[in-house]
């Protein structure tokens, strides 16, 4: 009986390994396509073309403090771009981020910087509630929303805005790499972004012939398209607001474009339990938003499947070979995406943690299959069909 069970497990594990290898190869192909496109001359260098530089309103919703927060803000103020404004928004006028905004205004008195106190509660997602109030103060048709932990280069606005010159493009978003703090949890988080999350984004763009979502690192779009969706208020109760915005713009027949720009996100000094909690919230969010995609993640755990095949085959020579091939392709994919696409210098340094991170991902995936309770910004919510319902204590 045990022999039959092991044979069945062996077959399943081999099929899982084969699917994972195919996925890794797809990620490598997707990375190559991204690098090829990123290596093409920018629009402004193409003969006879003019780079679009319409005025832009940058919306930065804030709550509390993030690592390197002031330098992140400052990077938005030194853009090589003719006309733009930055609107910061907080719910609480005593929020510690307010002092940093005031300091920024003193350092850049000629830059159009304003602070909006968002006193209304328009939904369970406080960030989107703030954005719905901030956008009323925006002067321009073109809008960019980005998180407070994002740092950009001086040519960021020029490059991100360029695709919106095409009226068929409704949203531009950006990949990002994590800059880790010194804790193990922060390093695992950064490694996961570069070697798991971003490869999945690139692969989704190939499989679906373009992305159908946005990333919180950058969301660039037109006010008229936002208004056609019902404004920010339309998804003020949704957790994955960046995903919802991209999905709804795509549903209107407009393209969501993945820019060649890669920005930085500065990660908190996560303890291990904080890292696990964040990953579990992310897993349940993905499961809720993209159930088919979440189920398909089980076919991407190559190291797990190949080790299971080795166990079920009782250490057969062929299984050792399969494990070696799988590990080599997994490491190659991590390096090509992490260092080649994202220019993440930390990937090679912490690559020895990749098997640990991959096996944690398997456990998180299984835990994410059940439950719909999440913790977010110190509060607990029920998550159902993308919407948040606060849990009263």
DSSP 71-115: HHHHHHHT---SSEEEEEEESSTT-THHHHHHHHHHH-TTSEEEE
Q: At what angle do helices 2-38 and 198-207 cross, to 10 degrees?
A: 80
State pLDDT tens for residues 107-116: 999 999 999 9
* Mean pLDDT along residues 111-132: 93
Q: What percent of the chain has pLDDT over 90?
A: 74
Structure tokens at 308: 């299971």
- What is residue 151's three-state secondary structure? strand
Outline where the chain has alpha helix (H): 2-38, 69-77, 97-107, 126-134, 156-161, 184-192, 198-207, 223-228, 241-251, 272-289, 291-296, 302-312, 317-335, 346-349, 354-368
Confidence of residue 40 (pLDDT cuts 50, 70, 90): low
Cβ neighbours of residue 348 closer than 8 Å, sequence gap 6 or more: 335, 338, 339
State pLDDT tens for residues 146-201: 999 999 999 999 999 999 999 999 999 999 999 999 999 999 999 999 999 999 99
- CA-CA distance, 261 to 229, in Å (whole number)? 26
Radius of gyration, alpha carbons of the chain: 22
Q: What is the pLDDT of residue 42?
A: 54
Q: What is the pLDDT of residue 59?
A: 97
Are residues 58 and 259 in contact, defined by beta-carbon separation less than 8 angstroms?
Answer: no
Structure tokens at 16: 């899982």
Q: At what angle do helices 184-192 and 272-289 cross, to 10 degrees?
A: 30
- What is residue 384's three-state secondary structure? strand
Structure tokens at 44: 């402004």
Q: What is the pLDDT of residue 1?
A: 72
Q: What is the pLDDT of residue 51?
A: 60
Rounded to two decimals, what is the model's pTM? 0.91
- CA-CA distance, 144 to 171, in Å (whole number)? 10
**First vs last Cα of the chain: how many Å apart?**
50
- Is 50 exceeded by the pLDDT of residue 379? yes
Q: At what angle do helices 184-192 and 354-368 cross, to 10 degrees?
A: 80
Please tell me the least confidently modeled range out of 3-7, 74-78, 311-315, 360-364: 3-7
- Is 70 exceeded by the pLDDT of residue 47? no
State pLDDT tens for residues 320-370: 999 999 999 999 999 999 999 999 999 999 999 999 999 999 999 999 998
The Cβ of residue 205 has, within 10 Å, a number of other Cβ atoms equal to 19
Closest CA to 240 of 63, 386, 391: 386
Q: What is the mean pLDDT of the chain?
A: 91
- CA-CA distance, 134 to 116, in Å (whole number)? 6
- Is 50 exceeded by the pLDDT of residue 46? no
């Amino acid at each position: 009986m045990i022999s039959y069970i092991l044979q069945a497990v062996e077959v399943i594990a081999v099929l899982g390994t084969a699917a994972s290898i195919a996925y890794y190869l797809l990620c490598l192909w997707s990375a190559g396509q991204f690098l090829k496109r990123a290596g093409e001359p920018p629009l402004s260098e193409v003969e006879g073309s003019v780079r679009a530089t319409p005025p832009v309103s940058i919306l930065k919703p804030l709550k509390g403090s993030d690592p390197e927060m002031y330098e992140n803000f400052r990077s938005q103020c030194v853009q090589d771009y003719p006309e733009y404004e930055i609107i910061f928004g907080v719910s609480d006028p005593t929020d510690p981020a307010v002092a940093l905004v005031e300091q920024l205004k003193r350092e850049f008195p000629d830059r159009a910087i304003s602070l909006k106190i968002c006193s209304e509660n328009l939904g369970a997602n406080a960030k989107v509630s703030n954005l719905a109030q901030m956008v009323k103060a925006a002067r321009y048709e073109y809008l960019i929303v980005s998180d407070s932990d994002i740092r950009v280069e001086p040519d960021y606005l020029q490059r991100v805005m360029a695709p919106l010159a095409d009226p068929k493009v409704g949203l531009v978003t950006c990949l990002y790499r994590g800059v880790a703090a010194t804790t193990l949890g922060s390093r695992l988080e950064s490694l996961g972004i570069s070697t798991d999350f971003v490869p999945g984004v690139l692969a989704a763009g190939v499989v679906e012939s373009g992305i159908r979502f946005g990333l919180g690192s950058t969301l660039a779009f037109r006010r008229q398209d936002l208004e056609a969706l019902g404004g920010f208020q339309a998804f003020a109760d949704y957790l994955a607001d960046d995903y919802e915005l991209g999905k709804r713009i795509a549903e209107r027949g407009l393209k969501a474009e993945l820019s060649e720009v890669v920005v930085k996100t500065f990660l908190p000094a996560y303890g291990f339990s904080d890292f696990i909690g964040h990953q579990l919230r992310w897993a349940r969010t993905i499961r809720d938003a993209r159930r088919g995609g979440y189920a398909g993640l089980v076919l991407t755990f190559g190291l797990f499947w190949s080790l299971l095949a080795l166990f079920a085959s009782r250490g057969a020579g062929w299984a050792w070979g399969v494990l070696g091939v799988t590990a080599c392709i997994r490491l190659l994919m991590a390096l090509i995406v992490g260092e080649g696409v994202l220019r993440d210098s930390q990937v090679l340094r912490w690559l020895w943690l990749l098997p640990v991170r991959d096996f944690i991902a398997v456990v998180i995936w299984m835990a994410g299959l059940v439950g719909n309770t999440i913790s977010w910004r110190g509060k607990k919510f029920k998550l159902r069909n993308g919407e948040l319902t606060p849990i009263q204590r």
